[in-house]
Amino acid sequence: MKDWLLVYKTAEGIERKMVIQADAIPKLKAVAWHAIMDAYAQNPPHPLGNLSAEKWLEKCGIELVDLMLISKKSTKRLPNLAAPEPDQ
């Protein structure tokens, strides 16, 4: 099992983080379920029923922000690779 860091915003706009475990990249429905159950202490305000994960998140006011694999070998942050450094 791998550890994944899930970052989401609650209906009140509070950013929260939690760790979920999965062998591969978790499916959206599983990620939505974890975020909603965490945000509402296992008692979501709307049942999943036959709603899609997107509709369930929307009804519960949860916004998924990020999902990233946590490396167990290092806690060092990676450098920002978005913009290359200029040549010297």
pLDDT in tens, 20-69: 999 999 999 999 999 999 999 999 988 888 889 999 999 999 999 999 99
**pLDDT of the residue at 56:** 94
Instruction: Classify residue 12 by its DSSP letter.
Output: T
pLDDT at 12: 95
Which pLDDT value is given to residue 49? Answer: 84
Tokens 């209906």 map to which residue?
11
* pTM reported for the whole predicted model: 0.76
Angle between helices 28-39 and 53-60 (to 10 degrees): 20
